[in-house]
Copies of this chain bind each other. A is one copy, B any other.
Amino acid sequence: MRTLDQARLPQPDLAEVEIGTVLQALADPVRLQIVRLLSSQGAAACGELDLPVKRSTVSHHLRTLRETGLLETHLKGNTRVSKVRREELDRRFPGLLASILDATPAVPAPSEEEPGGADGER
């Protein structure tokens, strides 16, 4: 029976998760990047994530994200495959993930000098 298709690590019911907890989880730059990567890649193992921190730190963040309810992780042989719980999250917090992932990067900063077309503007 499918009780052990692939063991899934323990994760909270999203009904019990506060929005503040989610915001706190996503407030960390590395964790936000992880969610971005997994959202575009669909799923990935810990080692496949290209991040500016050491492996043990990535593992720590993956655990945090899972315990917060943002990720689900199954065991596959010796690797843990994680992915975003997108559908459940969309039900619990409609529009939240979309608005965050769709956010455009900030524009540099106007540099408080003369705004006159020093740049390529024409």
Interface residue ranges, A against B (CB under 8 Å): 13, 15-20, 23-24, 26-27, 29, 32, 93-96, 98-100, 102-103, 105-110
On whether the beta carbons of A18 and B102 are closer than 8 Å, the reply is no
A98 to B95, CA, bound (A): 8
A18: which B residues are within 8 A, CB to CB? 105-106
Neighbouring B residues of A16 by C-beta, 8 Å: 106-110
**Chain B nearest CB, measured from A101 CB (Å):** 9
Closest-CB distance, A9 to chain B (whole angstroms): 17
- B29 engages A26 (CB within 8 Å): no
User: Are the C-beta atoms of B13 and A100 separated by less than 8 Å?
Assistant: no
Closest 8 CB pairs of A and B: A19-B103, A27-B27, A95-B99, A96-B99, A24-B27, A95-B95, A23-B27, A18-B106
Do the beta carbons of A106 and B15 come within 8 Å of each other? yes
In the complex, chain B residues whose CB is within 8 Å of the CB of A93: 99, 103
A68 to chain B, nearest CB (A): 12
For A27, what are the chain B residues with a Cβ–Cβ distance below 8 Å?
20, 23-24, 26-27
22 contacting pairs across A/B (C-beta < 8 A): A15-B106, A16-B106, A16-B107, A16-B110, A17-B106, A18-B105, A18-B106, A19-B32, A19-B100, A19-B103, A20-B27, A20-B32, A23-B27, A23-B32, A23-B100, A26-B27, A93-B99, A94-B102, A95-B95, A95-B98, A95-B99, A96-B103
